[in-house]
Amino acid sequence: LGTTTDTLLYEEEDALFRLHVSRSRSLAWLFAVAGSFTTTEVRYLAAGAPEAPWAVMLPRERDHEYHVDHGGDFFYIRTNGGGRRNFRLVRAPVGDPRPERWVELVPHRAEVMLEDLDVFADYYVVHEREDGLVRLRVTDAQDQGSHHVEFPEPTYEVAGETNAEFVTSRYRVRYQSLITPPSVYDYDMVGRGLALLKRTEVLGGYDPAHYRSERVHATAGDGTRVPLSLVYRADTPRDGSSPLLLSGYGAYGIAYPVTFSSSRLSLLERGVGYAIAHVRGGGELGKRWHDEGRMLAKRNTFTDFVAAAEFLVQSGYTSADRLAIEGGSAGGLLVAAVLNMRPDLFRAALLRVPFVDVVNTMLDESLPLTVGEFEEWGNPRLREHYEYMKSYCPYTNLAARPYPAMLIRTSLNDSQVMYWEPAKYVAKLRTLKTDTNPLLLKINMDAGHGGASGRYDALRELATDYAFVLATLARATRGRPRRQV
């Protein structure tokens, strides 16, 4: 700033990598991070010496991701190098951060993912994910004594807030669950107590005691236990008579968030249960969970979802003619793929901006995301990858058979899943399907990948989605009175 010319400090030339710059909470260091889906390279610079050259923390190495923060005389490094896929935590002297100087603080564990790290002057907080749930481990930076923050519910979501202050003994978090509205707490890292600061108000006399949430597991065909999160009205019977909406995603190592939705109460109050299948391809059980649902293992995502649906039916939560499913983007791929595999298992399907033509999209390197996503889906110019993609690609595998009722949404300005992809999927499906169930295509002429951005426009879209689900499941919901609130 303040000069007539700009100086190029660094240019990332590898199309697989993206570049961003951040500053440590201590304000002492700048980090320039080049990262792909599987590899990281961090450059660092003392904030007080902007004219100095940037130094590379560790040169990029395939399948090595690492993240750096600063506290006191040390860099804190969360790394999955050396095959430690779920990350471990080390620290190194600021003056010499070579691996030979690393001291391990939190070891790698096969069943626990080190998801995030917040470093303060006297403490650091590690976000660990085990069996799909986040735990916060608070550690004294001096004596290394640590403890976990306790939360009361069987399934929940918790994340750190901005926490801009470096010198503090309080850690601010946002907590919620399927039945608890978003709540902001201050956690006393010394006294170990949570203080509620603010909870989102839910109008209409909402009482969480009227609902139940559960954490259960289905068993996939290869014996893998697949977690599910459920919420339903407390008076819901377990005799297979209740309708249910099952959601899933399973891609990019992203854990499906177990969040509260006041809009979802509209379904719950009408007797429709809601479940999330935490299938492989997501990050709920660490890097292994992601690895077992991407590239040449992608079909595990779909078979996990089918296993979850079968479990819900067999356990009496719902029945096949009362079960609707939903997914967006890569989750739309999931839904479309399982509809080809087991169309008999579902009554209705809701697909939002679905990634349904995997083969042709991944062959088109002119699209903005294709090359960068070779590490997630594979490169179809490699025959093994191409044949594997063909085996599950929803568009490729459409066939002359009955399909459930379907509502498919797309957006004209979507730069991630182009609108023509769902459109041609619907056109082909209309030609092939042998049933008379509704097949609806809704194109938002203004929106992008996230759908309508205005608050009320987004609610109108959601109302349409829920109306479709309720209308399709009308026979299942008939006779189940809505609770007066």
Q: What pLDDT is stored for residue 131 in this prediction?
A: 86
* Rounded Cα gap, residues 115 and 436, in angstroms: 46
Q: What pLDDT is stored for residue 8 in this prediction?
A: 86
Residue-range domain boundaries for the chain = 18-199, 208-477
Q: What pLDDT is stored for residue 474 in this prediction?
A: 81
- pLDDT tens string 266-292: 999 999 999 999 999 999 999 999 999
Domain 18-199 has CATH 3.30.390.30: no
Query: Do 18-199 and 208-477 show the same overall fold?
Result: no
Which regions of 131-210 does DSSP assign to beta strands (E)?
Answer: 133-140, 146-148, 157-160, 170-176, 183-188, 194-199
Just list the catalytic residues: 329, 414, 449
> Phi and psi of 427, rounded to 5°?
-60, -45
**Architecture in CATH for domain 208-477:** 3-Layer(aba) Sandwich (3.40)
Looking at 342-419, list the stretches that DSSP marks H as alpha helix, in order from N- to C-terminal side: 358-363, 374-377, 383-392
CA distances (Å), origin 307, targets 228, 280, 303, 442: 11, 12, 6, 30
Contacts 24+ apart (CB under 8 A), 310-315: 310/218, 310/345, 311/216, 311/217, 311/218, 311/219, 311/228, 312/218, 312/228, 312/244, 312/246, 312/275, 313/240, 313/345, 315/216, 315/238
* Rounded Cα gap, residues 402 and 404, in angstroms: 7
Name the stretches of the chain with pLDDT < 50: 478-480, 484-485
Q: Look up tokens 């085996």; give the residue.
A: 391
**Residue 221 token pair:** 């065909």
User: In whole angstroms, what separates CA 68 from the centre of its chain?
Assistant: 22
